[in-house]
Chain A
């Protein structure tokens, strides 16, 4: 650890120092690109299994309703994947365009994960095409089987990408020589760094919640309008059940993630609260504003809560921001605080919604009847996306000012090229147009009646 800190002071990387005046724009551009891409990847993580489940129902029962639904969903899956392909490509470009010194210095340490992710991506692209264009062309069982690699590749792809993020937060698998060279690279150790398991499981459940609540929200609208057809019922129950099961579990996983952060990145944890000084029995403030003097103005203080969250012990000592030099503290503190609170707050609401549904179903074997439940569901879809992005803001802004935690600063990693504000504006405009087009076409797709399916029919 000491070697890291010593090296960090004058660690310039293989391409040398950068004098980028627009570092903030580079960070914002990267953040924007991730904020667009991450919700799309959720559909790769969680949606294929739901589509396959519904197709499986069709194969078991022969009921064409299931087939019509699986077919419709597979079109959405393809559209999401296609947009995810291009937004993901932008990310690969941006890694080099925005952070060339990071890539040049550490590409060989963490690159292996992306190599493996590349294969997952390949498999996903191949089988999603076969699956979606293979309806009515392949024998039914073969068709179902061609969906299985999509599910697996969705899991492995996200695993490898998150492994890299875990590594950036907990860099292992290399040494820094006295002259600043990266030596003794151990790529497998970097790939399976101890920090990424909680991130991965947390993200996997988050992705499942996002898709579950978003898809359920679409059909909750139809339900509220009085559509009680089997088609809508199935389309509501499948994602809702998945979401209702994962949302409460996410609370437990979030706890695990929080304790891991307390252990590996105490400064980041201090930022979640805005804890200026190392404190025994640290409180947690909901709302309020972190002032530059280290006080939290306003807000609701819950005594001991941060110690309980971090260590499951009300009297535990929590390291404050003062443990590191001012230059090494994440910022802005309030961004991290509010992102963290948004994630936790929304996550709790979603868990309650899920438990309510599960409770009603368990006791009465039917869907909830109150209209407020369905109104809640309609809100839950977009809220789940907000919580997802808030979670990433928490961990990524909380990582600052480091791109490689306590080894390389973002200001040393950034490109020396000009035009970053312009690039940000261009990408923002393109993504706005893209988002508008996707939403508009999904609504169009939703407004069309489902395909009329007859069992065993070969349609044109």
Chain B
């Protein structure tokens, strides 16, 4: 039963890595889009694509936290107390990011939008880095069981943490660029397809390079993790991720961005699952296995039953949302962000005849 609960947490983490990190990645593209005029179209595209989905995507993070503290309470207490610095920074980043993005939708002048955009974008980089660094601290065995017993800084500022933090940022950017390219294709905005294809290729190659180079970092810094990633289930999923990643890049290269959406998501999912295999059966390497950390059977049964019932409601709802989104039914009209603030002209509101 502990395995099932862990699988749920991994499912949530994977969903957040695939969906939430894409929203975070979009922040990076927002940040690097260039001046107001040059970057206006890119930013408008991001605003258009993210608005209807970012909240639902974000809830996966809460889902993971809830599963962890219910099913593995000692693990949760130990990581949150030792990794308090990156977790706190991530929390601050989440406030800045969500609030700035939501408020930017209401901004009335370019300067307001620029300020909120900068806040949105910079915190979008801080959040995945900090969360990734925290995962690195866990995976490299730097979090002991107990109330803030680990090193407050070395636990997340170490080679493995830095690697995973950077990888989280770049992967998010890559996934995001692929989705945005596919969204732009769906909406028929071809220059944006091209713009995000370029970004997807650049960040995809970079992510691949960091991942491969990173294996040497992990080998030197966290030998157990490296051994786990290069044997058994870990190896299978790492290899699968590499294949999927390469295949997705090929799809993007040849302009087939719609299937690339699924490929890139699968590649990221494989990394998360591979990590789970690599670390199994430990939650905190060398400290705590997931059987030791697991809550009582009564709690896990209740949790699994609730999640199963909840999924009966959640899955159709999510399917409905994403179907509407993929059909373009919820997207706002595409509008370059700098264009929103120019003076209104007579052509802005073409009158439509009221239908009979």
Contact = CB atoms under 8 A, between A and B. Distances in A.
B74 A15 contact: yes
Interface in B245-286: none
Interface of B: 51-53, 55-56, 58-59, 61-63, 65-67, 69-71, 73-74, 76-82, 84-85, 87-88, 90-92, 94-99, 101-103, 106-108, 145-149, 152, 295-296, 298-299, 302-303, 306-307, 310, 313-314, 317-318, 320-321, 324, 329-333, 349-350, 352, 354-355
B350 A14 contact: no
Contacts of B66: 92, 111, 114-115, 117-118
Interface string A444-460: 11000000001111111
Nearest to A17: B147
Interface residues of A, number: 82
7 contacts: A97-B84, A122-B59, A129-B321, A130-B320, A130-B321, A416-B147, A456-B354
Given A115-B306, A441-B103, 14 more contacts: A18-B147, A85-B55, A85-B58, A92-B65, A96-B65, A96-B69, A100-B147, A119-B313, A123-B313, A133-B51, A134-B324, A138-B329, A434-B95, A434-B99
A111 B296 CA distance: 12
A256 to B, nearest CB: 29
A79 B106 CA distance: 9
A82 B354 contact: no
Interface string A392-431: 0000000000000000000000011111000100110011
Contacts of A336: none
Contact of A104 (B58, B74, B98, B332): B74
A107 interface: yes
Contacts of A137: 329-330
A97 B55 contact: no
Most buried by B among A115, A129, A437: A115
Contact of A108 (B52, B73, B91): B73
A109 interface: yes
B320 A93 contact: no
Interface in A68-126: 75, 78-79, 81-83, 85-90, 92-97, 100-109, 111-112, 114-119, 121-123, 125-126
Given A15-B78, A115-B306, A115-B310, A129 B299 contact: no
Given A93-B91, A133-B330, A125 B56 contact: yes
A117 B148 CA distance: 28
A404 to B, nearest CB: 13
Contact of A97 (B80, B313, B321): B80
Contact of A92 (B62, B296, B352): B62
A86 B52 contact: no
Contact of A14 (B55, B65, B77, B99): B77
B343 to A, nearest CB: 16
Given A108-B299, A115-B303, A185-B295, A93 B69 contact: no
A444 B108 contact: yes
A434 B100 CA distance: 9
A94 B90 CA distance: 12
Contacts of B332: 133
A128 interface: yes
Contacts of A108: 70-71, 73, 295-296, 299
B106 A86 contact: no
B77 A97 contact: no
Given A115-B310, A121-B62, A104 B76 contact: yes
A430 B95 contact: yes
Nearest to A116: B306
Contacts of A86: 94-95, 97-99
A418 B95 CA distance: 22
Given A85-B98, A137-B330, A112 B70 contact: yes
B103 A107 contact: no
A133 B106 contact: no
A107 to B, nearest CB: 3
A111 B71 contact: yes
